[in-house]
Structure 1
Protein backbone atom coordinates (compact mmCIF):
# COMPACT_ATOMS: atom_id res chain seq x y z
CA UNK A 1 0.00 0.00 0.00
CA UNK A 2 1.53 3.30 -1.03
CA UNK A 3 1.90 6.03 1.56
CA UNK A 4 -0.17 9.07 1.08
CA UNK A 5 1.45 12.34 0.30
CA UNK A 6 -0.17 13.92 3.34
CA UNK A 7 1.64 11.55 5.67
CA UNK A 8 5.11 12.11 4.23
CA UNK A 9 4.83 15.90 4.10
CA UNK A 10 3.73 16.18 7.68
CA UNK A 11 5.69 14.99 10.60
CA UNK A 12 4.09 14.09 13.88
CA UNK A 13 3.03 17.71 14.40
CA UNK A 14 0.29 17.55 11.82
CA UNK A 15 1.56 20.65 10.01
CA UNK A 16 2.96 20.77 6.48
CA UNK A 17 6.76 20.66 6.21
CA UNK A 18 7.01 24.21 4.95
CA UNK A 19 5.85 25.54 8.36
CA UNK A 20 8.58 23.75 10.30
CA UNK A 21 11.19 26.43 9.56
CA UNK A 22 9.03 29.09 11.19
CA UNK A 23 7.93 26.89 14.09
CA UNK A 24 8.23 28.77 17.39
CA UNK A 25 6.68 26.28 19.75
CA UNK A 26 8.55 26.32 23.07
CA UNK A 27 10.31 29.64 22.51
CA UNK A 28 7.89 31.54 24.76
CA UNK A 29 9.00 29.56 27.79
CA UNK A 30 12.65 30.15 26.93
CA UNK A 31 12.03 33.88 26.54
CA UNK A 32 10.13 33.95 29.82
CA UNK A 33 12.95 32.21 31.70
CA UNK A 34 15.60 34.49 30.19
CA UNK A 35 13.65 37.67 30.86
CA UNK A 36 12.73 36.45 34.32
CA UNK A 37 16.36 35.84 35.24
CA UNK A 38 17.44 39.19 33.85
CA UNK A 39 14.84 40.93 36.00
CA UNK A 40 15.08 38.65 39.04
CA UNK A 41 18.81 38.96 39.72
CA UNK A 42 18.79 42.76 40.22
CA UNK A 43 15.58 42.50 42.23
CA UNK A 44 17.11 39.94 44.60
CA UNK A 45 20.23 42.11 44.98
CA UNK A 46 18.05 45.14 45.73
CA UNK A 47 16.21 43.22 48.44
CA UNK A 48 19.51 42.05 49.97
CA UNK A 49 20.97 45.57 49.90
CA UNK A 50 17.87 47.13 51.44
CA UNK A 51 17.82 44.50 54.18
CA UNK A 52 21.48 45.19 54.96
CA UNK A 53 20.87 48.94 55.10
CA UNK A 54 17.75 48.57 57.23
CA UNK A 55 19.62 46.33 59.65
CA UNK A 56 22.44 48.87 59.96
CA UNK A 57 20.01 51.74 60.47
CA UNK A 58 18.13 49.84 63.16
CA UNK A 59 21.41 48.90 64.85
CA UNK A 60 22.68 52.47 65.20
CA UNK A 61 19.22 53.71 66.23
CA UNK A 62 18.94 51.13 68.99
CA UNK A 63 22.51 51.72 70.09
CA UNK A 64 22.08 55.48 70.43
CA UNK A 65 18.76 55.15 72.26
CA UNK A 66 20.05 52.60 74.76
CA UNK A 67 23.31 54.45 75.31
CA UNK A 68 21.45 57.68 76.10
CA UNK A 69 19.14 55.88 78.53
CA UNK A 70 21.91 54.20 80.51
CA UNK A 71 24.01 57.36 80.44
CA UNK A 72 21.42 59.51 82.25
CA UNK A 73 20.71 56.81 84.83
CA UNK A 74 24.34 56.33 85.88
CA UNK A 75 25.56 57.56 89.27
CA UNK A 76 28.83 59.09 87.98
CA UNK A 77 30.06 60.48 84.69
CA UNK A 78 32.86 57.89 84.48
CA UNK A 79 30.46 55.02 84.99
CA UNK A 80 28.04 56.63 82.53
CA UNK A 81 30.64 56.50 79.77
CA UNK A 82 31.43 52.84 80.51
CA UNK A 83 27.74 51.90 80.57
CA UNK A 84 27.06 53.74 77.34
CA UNK A 85 29.94 51.97 75.59
CA UNK A 86 28.65 48.63 76.84
CA UNK A 87 25.11 49.42 75.66
CA UNK A 88 26.43 50.32 72.20
CA UNK A 89 28.38 47.05 72.02
CA UNK A 90 25.32 45.00 72.96
CA UNK A 91 23.00 46.79 70.55
CA UNK A 92 25.41 46.42 67.64
CA UNK A 93 26.14 42.78 68.45
CA UNK A 94 22.43 42.01 68.07
CA UNK A 95 22.68 43.06 64.42
CA UNK A 96 26.09 41.53 63.75
CA UNK A 97 28.00 44.81 63.54
CA UNK A 98 31.41 45.38 65.08
CA UNK A 99 31.58 48.09 67.74
CA UNK A 100 35.05 49.07 66.52
CA UNK A 101 33.54 50.31 63.24
CA UNK A 102 31.22 52.87 64.83
CA UNK A 103 31.79 56.38 66.09
CA UNK A 104 30.01 57.36 69.31
CA UNK A 105 29.66 61.00 70.36
CA UNK A 106 28.19 62.21 73.64
CA UNK A 107 27.11 65.84 74.01
CA UNK A 108 25.68 67.47 77.09
CA UNK A 109 23.37 70.43 77.35
CA UNK A 110 23.78 72.83 79.06
CA UNK A 111 27.52 72.87 78.58
CA UNK A 112 29.16 72.45 81.96
CA UNK A 113 32.12 70.74 83.52
CA UNK A 114 29.85 67.90 84.61
CA UNK A 115 27.75 66.15 82.05
CA UNK A 116 25.22 64.78 84.50
CA UNK A 117 23.34 67.72 85.96
CA UNK A 118 19.72 67.80 87.05
CA UNK A 119 17.33 68.36 84.16
CA UNK A 120 20.25 68.46 81.76
CA UNK A 121 20.08 66.80 78.38
CA UNK A 122 22.46 64.14 77.07
CA UNK A 123 22.60 63.45 73.34
CA UNK A 124 24.31 60.32 72.09
CA UNK A 125 25.11 60.05 68.38
CA UNK A 126 26.17 56.76 66.82
CA UNK A 127 27.51 56.74 63.25
CA UNK A 128 28.64 53.82 61.11
CA UNK A 129 29.03 52.69 57.51
CA UNK A 130 27.08 49.74 56.16
CA UNK A 131 28.76 47.83 53.34
CA UNK A 132 26.61 46.71 50.44
CA UNK A 133 26.39 42.93 50.03
CA UNK A 134 28.48 40.94 47.55
CA UNK A 135 30.97 43.76 46.93
CA UNK A 136 34.55 42.46 46.60
CA UNK A 137 37.27 43.79 48.88
CA UNK A 138 39.74 44.32 46.04
CA UNK A 139 40.72 47.86 45.08
CA UNK A 140 38.96 49.24 48.16
CA UNK A 141 35.57 48.75 46.54
CA UNK A 142 33.96 47.65 49.80
CA UNK A 143 34.79 51.03 51.37
CA UNK A 144 33.42 53.00 48.43
CA UNK A 145 30.33 50.82 48.18
CA UNK A 146 29.08 51.54 51.66
CA UNK A 147 26.38 53.79 53.00
CA UNK A 148 26.75 56.04 56.04
CA UNK A 149 24.08 55.61 58.70
CA UNK A 150 23.78 57.60 61.89
CA UNK A 151 21.31 58.16 64.69
CA UNK A 152 20.98 60.50 67.63
CA UNK A 153 19.02 60.06 70.84
CA UNK A 154 18.46 62.63 73.57
CA UNK A 155 17.47 61.87 77.15
CA UNK A 156 16.89 64.21 80.06
CA UNK A 157 18.62 63.65 83.37
CA UNK A 158 16.11 63.22 86.16
CA UNK A 159 15.38 66.21 88.36
CA UNK A 160 15.95 63.87 91.32
CA UNK A 161 19.40 62.77 90.11
CA UNK A 162 22.22 63.13 92.58
CA UNK A 163 25.81 61.96 92.66
CA UNK A 164 25.25 60.49 96.14
CA UNK A 165 23.22 57.47 94.96
Structure 2
Protein backbone atom coordinates (compact mmCIF):
# COMPACT_ATOMS: atom_id res chain seq x y z
CA UNK A 1 0.00 0.00 0.00
CA UNK A 2 2.79 2.45 0.82
CA UNK A 3 4.97 1.31 -2.05
CA UNK A 4 2.93 3.06 -4.78
CA UNK A 5 3.31 6.60 -3.35
CA UNK A 6 6.99 5.94 -2.68
CA UNK A 7 7.61 4.82 -6.28
CA UNK A 8 5.71 7.86 -7.58
CA UNK A 9 7.81 10.15 -5.40
CA UNK A 10 11.04 8.62 -6.72
CA UNK A 11 9.85 9.03 -10.33
CA UNK A 12 8.81 12.65 -9.72
CA UNK A 13 12.14 13.48 -8.08
CA UNK A 14 14.03 11.86 -10.94
CA UNK A 15 12.06 14.01 -13.41
CA UNK A 16 12.91 17.19 -11.48
CA UNK A 17 16.57 16.17 -11.23
CA UNK A 18 16.69 15.58 -14.98
CA UNK A 19 15.27 19.08 -15.47
CA UNK A 20 17.92 20.56 -13.19
CA UNK A 21 20.69 18.75 -15.10
CA UNK A 22 19.29 19.89 -18.46
CA UNK A 23 18.99 23.50 -17.28
CA UNK A 24 22.53 23.54 -15.86
CA UNK A 25 24.00 21.95 -19.00
CA UNK A 26 22.20 24.48 -21.17
CA UNK A 27 23.40 27.41 -19.07
CA UNK A 28 27.03 26.26 -19.12
CA UNK A 29 27.13 25.55 -22.85
CA UNK A 30 25.21 28.71 -23.81
CA UNK A 31 27.51 30.97 -21.76
CA UNK A 32 30.63 29.31 -23.14
CA UNK A 33 29.42 29.58 -26.73
CA UNK A 34 28.37 33.22 -26.29
CA UNK A 35 31.76 34.07 -24.78
CA UNK A 36 33.61 32.51 -27.69
CA UNK A 37 31.30 33.51 -30.58
CA UNK A 38 28.97 36.39 -29.64
CA UNK A 39 27.35 36.66 -33.06
CA UNK A 40 24.33 34.37 -33.26
CA UNK A 41 24.64 33.39 -29.60
CA UNK A 42 20.90 33.54 -28.89
CA UNK A 43 20.05 31.10 -31.69
CA UNK A 44 22.80 28.73 -30.59
CA UNK A 45 21.58 28.92 -26.99
CA UNK A 46 18.08 27.89 -28.11
CA UNK A 47 19.49 25.00 -30.14
CA UNK A 48 21.61 23.87 -27.18
CA UNK A 49 18.56 24.01 -24.91
CA UNK A 50 16.52 21.89 -27.29
CA UNK A 51 19.36 19.37 -27.44
CA UNK A 52 19.90 19.13 -23.67
CA UNK A 53 16.21 18.94 -22.74
CA UNK A 54 15.59 16.29 -25.42
CA UNK A 55 18.61 14.30 -24.19
CA UNK A 56 17.07 14.22 -20.72
CA UNK A 57 13.65 13.16 -22.03
CA UNK A 58 11.99 16.50 -21.27
CA UNK A 59 10.60 17.53 -24.64
CA UNK A 60 7.38 18.68 -22.91
CA UNK A 61 9.20 21.01 -20.49
CA UNK A 62 8.82 24.74 -21.08
CA UNK A 63 12.11 26.58 -20.74
CA UNK A 64 13.78 29.88 -21.58
CA UNK A 65 17.40 30.95 -22.02
CA UNK A 66 18.46 34.56 -21.46
CA UNK A 67 21.93 35.85 -22.27
CA UNK A 68 23.35 39.03 -20.75
CA UNK A 69 26.73 40.73 -20.84
CA UNK A 70 28.52 42.93 -18.32
CA UNK A 71 29.62 45.22 -21.14
CA UNK A 72 30.40 44.76 -24.80
CA UNK A 73 29.85 41.05 -25.47
CA UNK A 74 32.75 40.94 -27.93
CA UNK A 75 35.32 42.71 -25.69
CA UNK A 76 37.90 40.54 -23.94
CA UNK A 77 37.30 40.38 -20.20
CA UNK A 78 33.53 40.95 -20.42
CA UNK A 79 31.34 38.52 -18.55
CA UNK A 80 28.59 36.65 -20.37
CA UNK A 81 25.83 35.14 -18.25
CA UNK A 82 23.29 32.56 -19.39
CA UNK A 83 20.21 32.14 -17.22
CA UNK A 84 17.90 29.18 -17.82
CA UNK A 85 14.47 28.75 -16.28
CA UNK A 86 12.53 25.56 -16.91
CA UNK A 87 9.13 24.33 -15.81
CA UNK A 88 9.34 20.55 -15.51
CA UNK A 89 5.94 18.82 -15.71
CA UNK A 90 4.92 16.55 -12.85
CA UNK A 91 4.75 12.99 -14.24
CA UNK A 92 1.51 11.08 -14.18
CA UNK A 93 -0.78 14.11 -13.84
CA UNK A 94 -3.40 14.19 -16.59
CA UNK A 95 -3.57 17.25 -18.82
CA UNK A 96 -7.22 17.97 -18.03
CA UNK A 97 -6.86 21.76 -18.26
CA UNK A 98 -4.63 21.82 -21.33
CA UNK A 99 -0.90 22.19 -21.82
CA UNK A 100 -0.65 25.66 -20.27
CA UNK A 101 -1.96 24.53 -16.88
CA UNK A 102 -0.08 21.26 -16.36
CA UNK A 103 1.38 21.24 -12.85
CA UNK A 104 5.12 21.52 -12.82
CA UNK A 105 8.16 22.43 -10.78
CA UNK A 106 10.37 25.34 -11.78
CA UNK A 107 14.13 24.88 -11.85
CA UNK A 108 16.67 27.61 -12.55
CA UNK A 109 20.34 27.56 -13.53
CA UNK A 110 22.86 30.28 -14.26
CA UNK A 111 26.42 30.26 -15.53
CA UNK A 112 28.89 33.08 -16.23
CA UNK A 113 31.86 32.87 -18.55
CA UNK A 114 34.53 35.43 -19.44
CA UNK A 115 35.23 36.49 -23.01
CA UNK A 116 38.83 35.53 -23.69
CA UNK A 117 41.23 37.61 -25.79
CA UNK A 118 41.43 36.68 -29.44
CA UNK A 119 44.18 34.32 -30.42
CA UNK A 120 46.75 35.80 -32.79
Structure 2: 5+ residue runs without aligned partners? none
> Where does the alignment leave 5 or more consecutive residues of structure 1 unmatched?
1-37
Counterpart pick for 1:119 among 69, 77, 83? 77
Give the 4+ runs in structure 1 shifted more than 6 A. Answer: none
Q: How far off is 1:92 after superposition?
A: 1.7
Higher relative contact order (CA 8 A, sep 6+): 2
Secondary structure of the 1:118 match is: coil
- 2:108 maps to what in 1? 150
TM-score (norm 1): 0.65
- How many residues are paired up? 120
Aligned equivalents of 2:7 and 2:18: distance in 1? 17
Larger Rg belongs to: 1
- Report whether the alignment pairs 1:46 with 2:9: yes
Task: Note the alpha carbon deviations across 1:66-116, whole angstroms, 9 max, x for none.
Answer: 111111111xx3333333222222222211223882111111113xxx422
Higher fraction of strand: 2
Q: Say whether the 8 Å CA contact 2:34–2:41 is kept in structure 1.
A: yes
Contact kept, 8 Å, 1:108 with 1:121, in 2: the verdict is yes
In angstroms, what is the RMSD of aligned CA positions? 2.3
- The 3-state SS of whatever aligns with 1:128 is strand
